[in-house]
Amino acid sequence: MIREWNEESLDHRNTLLYAMGISEEDAKRPIIGLVNTWNEMNPGHYPFDKALIAEMKEEIYKLGGLALELPISGICDGICSNTPGDRYTLPARDLVSSEVEMVANLNMLEGMVIMATCDKVVPGMLMGAVRVDIPTVMFTGGYMAAGHRSDGRMITLTHTKQAYAAYVEGSITREEYKDVVRHACPTPGACPFMGTAQTMCAMAEILGFAPHDNASTRSQSEKWHELARQAARQVMYAWEHEIRPSDILSQSSFENVVRYMMATGGSTNSLLHIPALARQADFDITPETFDAISREVPLLSTIYPNHPTYTMEDFDAAGGIGAVVKELAAAGKIDTEAKGMFGTIGDKAAHAENKNHDVIHTVADPIYDHGGLAVLHGNIGTDSAIVKFSAVDPAAWRFSGPAKCYDSQDDAWHAILKDEIVAGDVVIIRYEGPKGAPGMPHMETFMAAVLGKGLGSQIALVSDGRFSGATGGLAIGHVSPEAYEGGNLALIQDGDMVYIDIEARTLNVDVSEEEFARRKESWKPIVKPATGWLQLFRKQCTSAHRGATVYWDKD
């Protein structure tokens, strides 16, 4: 067994198991936790229902184990978007990691199948699993079907925000806006664009925790159910052979995730989650890692928001994650020897086929000859700042304009709805970072309004907040140091000229160091109210440059 028990403690546990109808013989089996985020509040985790759990329990029982379901938190960023609740979504990642660590170690589990789909929960569960280091596989929820308006046009969740701005502006009717709201999310699963959920589910696969094709398989399909059964069988194999996360993970494992992410234009939130997760496994991934790989790995596939119409349905039909890996492997752009619970990266490439080179390009014929993200440096964000330039019109890769400064997203959002922000402006939204908000909420509502007004390449946003993976337009986030900690972002004033050059990787404002020093003499941080978990997170979390986590320091 993975765990060591003495007779008294094991008998004491078993007495409580007998109370729930577990037989004496079954109590001798290794207990595998089905650590489940199912709830009735969001569609990403909704597929992990009792019927699915029964299928997985049956497979584990056949192979000698006893699977018991253990629920933990499963949150969805979309539920609380543009509300004070969004401050909790990033801190939820670390809280979820603590829950996984707690239920696994408190219950002395022999192994786990961890189940989640959404943005912060997938990396959180993996962070906890790495700390626990018992045989673990992951099963993610698959993708949601794309929505369609009554006239047949493709829509997704993020189109609702754009439609609201267009409705306020008067370019569409209220009925047209409500049509988008009603039809954007037709089924459970992860939002079908290249957002954070899809990026993180792919991360679980590339790291080797989830079955091949899991993230690029339609939720609740028969193939998805078979992958769930496969995950259940594989955790028993891992238990029997005592294969732990520490046996499969390496520096190359995490660099492979970054390589895949660059090839697909993955979410900017990866620059928070991958470094934080790697840190738990004693590996080092930094923003500089992302930027170096971005210069080496070309962009091979774009789905919404990086493409106007392609969604996960098109990506799946073209061959999905495996097809991208196959193209990278053929060009020597990914480490095929990296291990996983379901085989190596080379195994993933071998079983895949690229069925549509318009959706998934070859390395010889890329969409761009560099990856989809860039790390910027300058006197704004002296540590780093992030932009997903695969979602930016190339005409806006170089941009300059006067600053318009706001100390919250809400203020900036109302300003653009009132046309107080105009083409050519560089909008500064600050005090929305990990400590400033606290919790580093999304700035997607503001950018959706920009896009809804048709200004995606005419207005730039620079913020210490973060973005949804579905955000398009010239959106620069994760500015570190953040305003709350006295970074130069806090000292910019209305009218200061800001200069952005994505290809040169620079982000600067025309303010001298001497002027910054003069302004800082009278500066005081804006302290937004926080209680409980948010207050603790503010005190303990690192900067966005270092994963925005309470678990960075290992001492």
Q: Give, to the nearest 10 degrees, the angle between helix 196-206 and helix 320-330.
A: 60
CB 74 within 8 A of CB 203: no
> Could you tell me whether strands 31-36 and 111-116 are parallel, antiparallel, or unpaired per DSSP bridges?
parallel
CB 477 within 8 A of CB 386: yes
Q: How many residues does the chain have?
A: 555
**Cα–Cα distance list, 225 to 112, 197, 217, 342, 478 (Å):** 18, 19, 10, 17, 37
Q: How far apart are CA 444 and CA 220, in angstroms?
A: 29
Is 166 strand, coil or helix? Answer: helix
> Could you tell me whether strands 426-429 and 398-406 are parallel, antiparallel, or unpaired per DSSP bridges?
parallel
CA angle 88, 273, 195 (to 5 degrees): 80
**Phi, psi for 533 (deg, rounded to 5):** -60, -40
b or e along 485-513 (b: 16 or more beta carbons within 10 Å of the residue's beta carbon)?
bebbbbbbeeebebbbbbeebbbbbebee
CB 227 within 8 A of CB 213: yes
CB 76 within 8 A of CB 188: no
How many other CB atoms are found less than 10 A from the CB of residue 248? 20
Where in 373-473 does DSSP place strands (E)?
374-376, 384-387, 398-406, 426-429, 460-463
Is 231 strand, coil or helix? Answer: helix
* Annotated catalytic residue 216: no
The alpha carbons of the chain give a radius of gyration, in whole angstroms, of 23
User: What tokens appear for 326 in the block?
Assistant: 């196959």
Q: Which of 199, 204, 209 is nearest to 342 (CA)?
A: 209
Q: How far apart are CA 201 and CA 214, in angstroms?
A: 8
Burial class (CB in 10 A: 0-12, 13-18, 19+), 71: middle
The one catalytic residue in 97, 468, 480, 543 is: 468
List of residues 6+ apart from 417 with CB closer than 8 A: 165, 168, 169, 449
User: Residue 542, CB half-sphere, CA atoms under 13 Å: how many?
Assistant: 18
User: What tokens appear for 435 in the block?
Assistant: 């400590």
CB 3 within 8 A of CB 82: no
**Phi, psi for 107 (deg, rounded to 5):** -90, 0
Burial class (CB in 10 A: 0-12, 13-18, 19+), 539: exposed
User: What tokens appear for 146 in the block?
Assistant: 């794309």
CB 42 within 8 A of CB 76: yes
Catalytic residue IDs: 468
